[in-house]
Amino acid sequence: MNTNWTMHEDRLFPADPGTRGIARRLYAEVKDLPIVSPHGHTDPRWYAEDVRFPDPAVLFLIPDHYVFRMLHSQGVPLEALGVPRVDGGRTEADPRAIWRLFAENYHLLRGTPSRMWLEHVFLHVFGIEERLEAANAESFYDRLAARLSLPEFRCRALYERYNIEVIATTDSPLDSLEHHKAVLDSGWKGRVVPTFRPDPCVDPDFEGFAANVASLGQLTGEDAGSWKGYLRALAARREFFKSLGATATDHGHPSAATADLDASECERLFHKALRGTATPAEAELFRAQMLTEMVRMSLDDGLVIQIHPGSFRNHSLDIHTRFGRDKGADIPSRTDFVHALKPMLDRFGHERGLTVILFTLDESAYSRELAPLAGVYPVLRLGPAWWFHDSPEGMMRYRRMVTETAGFYNTVGFNDDTRAFLSIPARHDVARRVDCSFLADMVATHRLDEDEAVLLARELAYSLAKKAYRL
């Protein structure tokens, strides 16, 4: 029996009592600040239609690759977790069966951030004071399902209860943004802004690249088959995104490579990419050039550039073949920034009014490359610990490795990077606790005065994200 189970109010604070006391005081200053979520992957339709979220399995498990990946890694077939197959073949359809399987394997999440996020939601959003286990799987499911049917669990009600001030989605350049429009037109006070993620139209290796470029031309009335028309079309879509509230772009290239080629070379690469005859090196060079082009366009339209490099996408042939893209099998790889970014920085590194936010999955770059680069170039800022590192230990390593060289003000606070809407406050809460713990340690070891730590805690939890993303 584990009733009356709860999460400790001091969780994630340093164990030393003196330092913990400081962390508590700092956290009290930030825990109720509004949530600014400048980079995420929730579905804009949810806000437009004020959806009621579906059953617990569909809500918590099937779309959360942090969770089903861990179970899969220990031998649970993805089919048994209800992950849809590419070929439409049979997968488990009973949400209760999926939930039971999850509860039986819940121990696999011990020590992971997923576990902490889930428990935060179960306890603080659904009010269930138990730890999930096989024995209470059914009653857990029932209680979750019952609450999900209540009006206060609809999307807009949760947005308000969560004290979200603004949330960004991530969208294809070909997206109609109809849901963002619908939110704007609805008169609802929530702020849901799109983010321009042009990978489908700027990465020659993206599925359907040529067709995507053709669609881009149709959408904008530009001759997207010519290099100049293509650039105009992209600029037009950026303007369209901006007209619906976008303040940023996002780029998920395999590397951080940038280039600064002359127009004829660009033209040549573009046509090879369109014809599908670009070599891997040419495709990489084209992506590199397009990063620089995106930065150049930001000089005109003011969109903030986010670069998320270094993920080997869809590493598992088996998962990719049977379940498709984006099923938790993306693996980080070594990432160079120092040489990769130089062409872009040579051209734009000292521009006024330009912001380029760098993320990494290669922690060895934090202190060696990223903090030094952000510590010198005015256009650069460092995004928070991302993806495999958006965890208590990962976020602490990030602060410990970047602060002394880049300071606090070359970082951009926290973003949740999630499609798991229900867990957004849980994720921000973890980040706020970790940052307060880091600051508390600096105060306890007399590297920072406590009045400064209070100011910084508020910057890290709220202000820096608003400022960096121009929200």
DSSP designation for 51: P
Nearest residue to 346 (alpha-carbon basis) of 251, 260, 264, 253 = 260
Rg (Cα) of the chain, in Å, rounded? 23
Query: Of residues 3-32, which lie at the interface with a copy of itself (CB under 8 A)?
Result: 7-8, 10-19
Nearest residue to 336 (alpha-carbon basis) of 352, 314, 358, 354 = 358
Query: Of residues 36-75, which lie at the interface with a copy of itself (CB under 8 A)?
Result: 69-70, 72-75
Least distance between a copy of itself and beta carbon 385 (Å): 10
Distance CA 126, CA 215 (A): 43
Nearest residue to 247 (alpha-carbon basis) of 281, 196, 202, 200 = 196
Which lies closer to a copy of itself via its Cβ, residue 187 or residue 353? Answer: 353
Q: Note whether 362 binds a copy of itself by CB under 8 A.
A: yes
Least distance between a copy of itself and beta carbon 298 (Å): 16
Which lies closer to a copy of itself via its Cβ, residue 56 or residue 332? Answer: 332
DSSP one-letter string for 176-242: --HHHHHHHHHT-S--EE--B--HHHH-TTSTTHHHHHHHHHHHHTS-TTSHHHHHHHHHHHHHHHH
Least distance between a copy of itself and beta carbon 361 (Å): 6
Say how far residue 131 (Cα) sits from the centre of its chain: 28
Task: Select the residue interacting with a copy of itself from 47, 99, 153, 408 (CB under 8 A).
Answer: 408
Least distance between a copy of itself and beta carbon 157 (Å): 29
Least distance between a copy of itself and beta carbon 113 (Å): 6
Least distance between a copy of itself and beta carbon 299 (Å): 15
Phi, psi of 234 (to 5 degrees): -65, -40
Task: Select the residue interacting with a copy of itself from 57, 62, 116, 132 (CB under 8 A).
Answer: 116
Q: Note whether 206 binds a copy of itself by CB under 8 A.
A: no
Phi, psi of 356 (to 5 degrees): -120, 120
Query: Of residues 431-460, which lie at the interface with a copy of itself (CB under 8 A)?
Result: 441-442, 444-449, 452, 456
* Binding track, positions 289-328, relative to a copy of itself; x by CB under 8 A: -----------------------x--xxxxx--------x
Which lies closer to a copy of itself via its Cβ, residue 17 or residue 127? Answer: 17
Least distance between a copy of itself and beta carbon 141 (Å): 22
Contact criterion met (CB below 8 Å) for 246 and 195: yes
Task: Select the residue interacting with a copy of itself from 56, 173, 200, 392 (CB under 8 A).
Answer: 392
Q: Note whether 173 binds a copy of itself by CB under 8 A.
A: no
Least distance between a copy of itself and beta carbon 276 (Å): 23
Query: Of residues 207-266, which lie at the interface with a copy of itself (CB under 8 A)?
Result: none
Query: Of residues 367-386, which lie at the interface with a copy of itself (CB under 8 A)?
Result: 367-369, 371-378, 380
Write the single-letter amino acid at 245.
G
Two structure tokens written together for 272: 């090879």
Phi, psi of 193 (to 5 degrees): -115, 145
Contact criterion met (CB below 8 Å) for 248 and 304: yes
Q: Note whether 355 binds a copy of itself by CB under 8 A.
A: no
- CB under 8 A: which stretch of 2-10, 39-47, 52-60, 155-163 binds a copy of itself? 2-10
Those residues whose C-beta lies under 8 Å from the C-beta of residue 294, and which sit 6 or more positions away, are: 198, 202, 234, 249, 251, 305
Query: Of residues 324-353, which lie at the interface with a copy of itself (CB under 8 A)?
Result: 328-329, 331-334, 336, 338-339, 342, 345-346, 349-350, 352
Which lies closer to a copy of itself via its Cβ, residue 186 or residue 405? Answer: 405
- Site size toward a copy of itself (CB under 8 A) is 90
Q: Note whether 403 binds a copy of itself by CB under 8 A.
A: yes
For residue 356, CA distances in Å to 57, 96, 102, 351, 382 come to 38, 45, 40, 11, 8
Least distance between a copy of itself and beta carbon 65 (Å): 9
DSSP one-letter string for 403-439: HHHHTTTTB-------S-GGGHHHHHHHHHHHHHHHH
Phi, psi of 304 (to 5 degrees): -80, 135
